[in-house]
Amino acid sequence: MRLQYPSGIRIICLPCTGKVDLLHLLHCFEKGADGVYVVGCLEGACQFNTGNLRARKRVALAQEILEKIGLGGDRVQMYNLSSSEAPRFVQIAEEMTQKILKLGPNPIKLARRKMAA
Amino acid sequence: MIVAKQKPIEEIIETLKGYNKILILGCNECVTVCEAGGKKEVAVLASALRMYFMNQGQEVKIEEATLERQCDHEYLEEIRKTVDQYDAVLSLACGVGVQFLAEKYMHTPILPGVDTCFMGVTEERGVWSERCQGCGQCILAWTAGICPVSRCAKRLLNGPCGGSSKGKCEINKEVPCAWQIIIDRLNELGRMEDYERLIPIKDWSTERAGGPRKVVREDVRS
Ligand code: SF4
């Protein structure tokens, strides 16, 4: 289909979203990511049965922590789609990009720059 | 094991105010199993705190370490050479570890990062429940291996009370009546005669009522 999606997104491939740990999500933000979204298979369709359900819980926990420390919980999201849904993939990428543009850059990135200056 | 739960991050942040170099110290034993204060939880908390302070524009250095145990001298000694570098140590061990650290390192504030709850079991991942209150004089031999001291809300030694209904305790319908479990198990074991036997008044001086407790074993003492 050769569909285009926003160029600011970096894809990290994993065998299953069940591999995504809370720590991976937090470290992304510590390193300056403006937003992170986890894209898993449709619920009920996980090859490993519950990988995407576990990922959802971890994303929820990351949201809670980010909210409490003042970064904003909305910066991390969970989406589900099947591998054949390319247009949906693009739609999610655009949706997430818009959301992050609205939230602005990761305040950690700005704070770090300020401290270094 | 000793079961603990993580303190809310807001509470931790409050206790850390004013310190600029902090060590978060985990423990590889019970708190690792109950996922409250092991290496992983140390890393998560450290990352969250680093981001919090940075976002506040404060230069706070947060470092991480996890000891094999925090309730034994030899492991606590591992940080002797480095502890003075820190303004405070946030221990994710149970209250025992926090106190042993505090006794050992007189010049460094030691803060608790978890709420220590009870001695219990992992029913399933994410669910822990109480089994023993360390009363100092175990009566499990007479109660089919089920502890009424820790599992009966009234700590009845000759139960159940009138609040037991359909196998549940009157304090909460989710809580099984310890005495119902005891009787069911005695029945299974064919030992209902144990139920007939009145358990005498317990000497609570071996529990907390007798003040702080100590066990001394001269045979193994060095
Ligand atoms: S009787 Fe005492 S020592 Fe035995 S399990 Fe109950 S609280 Fe623990």
What is the predicted pLDDT for the residue at B222? 87
What is the predicted pLDDT for the residue at B74? 97
Q: Is B191 on the interface with A (CB under 8 A)?
A: no
What is the predicted pLDDT for the residue at A1? 80
What is the predicted pLDDT for the residue at A116? 85
What is the predicted pLDDT for the residue at B200? 94
Residue A117: pLDDT over 90: no
Q: Please state, in angstroms and as integers, the Cα–Cα distance from residue A75 to each residue in A58, A111, B51, B182, following that order.
A: 14, 17, 14, 51
Spell out, as residue ranges, where chain B has pLDDT lower than 70. none
Contacts of A26 in chain B (CB under 8 A): 44, 47-48, 51
**Domain B2-118 annotated CATH 3.30.365.10:** no
Contact B62, B16 (CB under 8 A): no
- In a 13 Å sphere around the CA of B197, the CA atoms on its Cβ side amount to 11
Report whether the peptide linkage leading into residue B160 is cis, meaning its omega lies within 30 degrees of zero. yes
A22 contacts B9? CB cut-off 8 A = no
Q: Determine if ligand 1 sits within 6 Å of the CB of residue B171.
A: no
Question: Which pTM value belongs to this model?
Answer: 0.94
Contacts of A115 in chain B (CB under 8 A): 54, 57, 59
Express each pLDDT in B96-126 by its tens digit. Answer: 999 999 999 999 999 999 999 999 999 999 9
Delimit the domains of chain B by residue range.
2-118, 136-210
Express each pLDDT in B136-162 by its tens digit. Answer: 999 999 999 999 999 999 999 999 999
What is the predicted pLDDT for the residue at B91? 98
β-pair type (A36-40, A76-80): parallel
